[in-house]
């Protein structure tokens, strides 16, 4: 098995590479940088550990971008982490991961989410059991087939070395997971998602997690550069804020990562870095048929094969 130090070294390096790339984009428009907020959860609290939350707000391209690393330890796995592994319920555990959400300013640039993580639990009298999870998904406000196809192709290419079944399986899992079940509505156009994964063995499963993390920039930044200068007005901005409300709903009601962090006593400010700076709600709002806003619902918020 790869050591905890190996996983931590990879994750902290990934966080640095990603935030450096976003600062490079912002530097073309101004000088907004990530705020680095190191934190610890001391002994005596329900959860102990440390992490580094990096947040950028008020940029010309990214209205809010959060990318956090955390490494925590606790006496008992919370329910959100053991629904597929009931035999480990209540066992001591440690978890580490990188989680990010980037909310762009321009409504024609989609929001992106990525998370890669490892959880290890120690059953009574047994050796530690580790498993991996992660994935990435895209949430456009105005859809473009070429953007969605590029994102999905990047995910498929990243997973290809690990078996032909992985992309279609994880793509389907993503569609099923990132669904607002209380509205019977997809959050976005999906991507890939996997959890409780160790079937390739510890070393190879870790390699697969790395492949997903490493492809985020290639999957997302070409879309950002293609759309970031697209002109928009009040109509597009209002629709973006309305759809961001759906993002908030999913993260608070359905997201297992959010539930895990809050249930285990994690650091609330870092757990909620995924929230957009502004969002809105309206009663039963639905776009006029034939409009670009309506196309989001009829073409893009419908699970389909994009590659």
Q: Could you tell me how many helices (H) and strands (E) the chain has, helices first? A: 10, 9
Residue 259 known to be catalytic: no
> Which of 71, 103, 113, 259 does the annotation list as catalytic?
113
First-last CA distance in the chain = 34
Taking alpha carbons only, the member of 234, 232, 242 closest to residue 296 is 242
Rg (CA), the chain: 19
- Structural element, H or E, at residue 68: strand 62-74
User: What's the token pair of residue 219?
Assistant: 């999957």
- Residues contacting 47, CB < 8 A, separation 6+: 41, 72, 73, 74, 264, 265, 266
Look at the block and give the residue holding tokens 């902290």. 12
Instruction: Count CB neighbours of 168 within 10 A.
Output: 13
Phi, psi of 191 (to 5 degrees): 165, -120
**Is-contact 91 73, C-beta < 8 A?**
no
Residues identified as active-site? 113
């Amino acid at each position: 098995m790869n050591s905890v130090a190996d996983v931590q070294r990879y994750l902290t390096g990934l966080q640095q590479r990603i935030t450096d790339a976003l600062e490079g984009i912002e530097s073309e428009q101004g000088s907004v940088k990530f705020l680095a907020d190191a934190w610890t959860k001391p002994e005596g609290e329900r959860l102990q550990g440390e992490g580094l939350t990096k947040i950028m707000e008020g940029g010309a391209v990214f209205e809010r971008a959060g990318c956090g690393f955390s490494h925590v330890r606790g006496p008992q796995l919370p329910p959100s982490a053991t629904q597929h592994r009931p035999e480990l319920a209540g066992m001591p555990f440690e978890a580490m991961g990188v989680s990010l959400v980037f909310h762009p300013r321009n409504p024609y640039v989609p929001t992106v989410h990525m998370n890669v993580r490892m959880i290890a639990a120690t059953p009574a009298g047994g050796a530690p059991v580790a498993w991996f999870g992660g994935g990435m998904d895209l949430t456009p406000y105005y859809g473009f087939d070429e953007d969605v196809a590029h994102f999905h192709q990047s995910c498929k290419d990243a997973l290809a070395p690990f078996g032909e079944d992985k992309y279609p399986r994880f793509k389907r899992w993503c569609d099923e997971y990132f669904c607002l079940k209380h509205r019977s509505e997809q959050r976005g156009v999906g991507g890939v998602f996997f959890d409780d994964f160790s079937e390739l063995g510890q070393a190879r499963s870790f390699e697969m997690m790395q492949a997903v993390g490493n492809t985020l920039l290639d999957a997302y930044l070409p879309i950002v550069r293609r759309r970031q200068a697209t002109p928009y007005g009040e109509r597009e901005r209002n629709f973006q804020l309305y759809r961001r409300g759906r993002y908030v709903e999913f993260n608070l009601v359905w997201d297992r990562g959010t539930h895990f962090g809050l249930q285990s006593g994690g650091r609330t400010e870092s757990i909620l870095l995924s929230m957009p700076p502004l969002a809105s709600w309206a009663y039963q709002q639905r776009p006029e048929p034939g409009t670009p806003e309506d196309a989001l619902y009829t073409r893009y918020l419908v699970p389909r094969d994009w590659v």
